[in-house]
């Protein structure tokens, strides 16, 4: 990646799969990346994303956070976006028109997912992250335990998509 970065005039963006704030440090220190796309759910929540954005800002690296794991992480990320001096753009994995995924999130959590208005996400006006998660909404889908996530490996042994 360092070789590609040195030879390219196109800005290099990466990071949505980096885990924990320290996972970004080497990319930042070596000047390999122009735009970091870290995900709040992967880098340690609000504090982790804030640390990454601060490290990136010192090195003149822009932030384009990835937020595709659900509406709660998306709302938390929007709040941080507003405070990042190096914020560029926000990625949200949702449809322009609400679809099945949005209906399911609304049913599971009991609040409507955020929607763009004129090309922007308005910040919620409610306290905290801007939504109220109720026990009644959570009771519909009780925790049924967890199971290990299957790993998919490439032919060379590297970890691929899951």
Q: What is the pTM of this model?
A: 0.81
Average pLDDT on 5-9 reads 91
Which homologous superfamily does the CATH classification assign to the domain defined by 2-139? Enolase-like C-terminal domain (3.20.20.120)
Q: Name which of 90, 30, 77 is nearest 55 in CA terms.
A: 30
Per residue in 71-81, pLDDT tens?
A: 888 889 999 99
Question: Encoding tokens for residue 79?
Answer: 């709040």
Q: Is 87 helix (H, G, I), strand (E, B) or coil?
A: strand
Q: Does the pLDDT value for residue 136 go beyond 90?
A: no
In angstroms, rounded to a whole number, what is the distance separating the alpha carbons of residues 67 and 37? 9
Say which residues have a Cβ less than 8 Å from residue 6's Cβ, sequence separation at least 6. Answer: none
Question: Encoding tokens for residue 56?
Answer: 């990136």
Q: Name which of 91, 117, 87, 92 is nearest 102 in CA terms.
A: 92
Q: Name which of 37, 27, 36, 32 is nearest 8 in CA terms.
A: 32
Per residue in 32-72, pLDDT tens?
A: 999 999 999 999 999 999 999 999 999 999 999 998 878 88
Average pLDDT on 110-120 reads 78
* pLDDT on residue 143: 84
């Amino acid at each position: 990646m360092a070789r590609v970065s040195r030879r390219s005039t196109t800005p290099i963006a990466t990071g949505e799969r980096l885990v924990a704030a320290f996972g970004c440090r080497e990319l930042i220190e070596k000047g390999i990346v122009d735009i970091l796309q870290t995900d709040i759910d992967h880098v340690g929540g609000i504090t982790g994303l804030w640390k990454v954005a601060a490290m990136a800002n010192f090195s003149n690296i822009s932030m384009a956070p990835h937020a595709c794991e659900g509406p709660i992480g998306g709302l938390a990320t929007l709040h941080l976006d507003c405070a990042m001096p190096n914020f560029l753009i926000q990625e949200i994995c949702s449809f322009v028109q609400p679809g099945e995924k949005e209906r399911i999130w609304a049913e599971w959590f009991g609040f409507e997912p955020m929607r763009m208005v004129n090309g922007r996400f308005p910040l919620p006006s409610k306290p905290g992250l801007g939504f109220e998660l109720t026990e009644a909404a959570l009771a519909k889908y009780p925790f049924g335990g967890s199971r290990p996530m299957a790993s998919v490996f490439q032919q060379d042994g590297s970890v691929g998509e899951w």
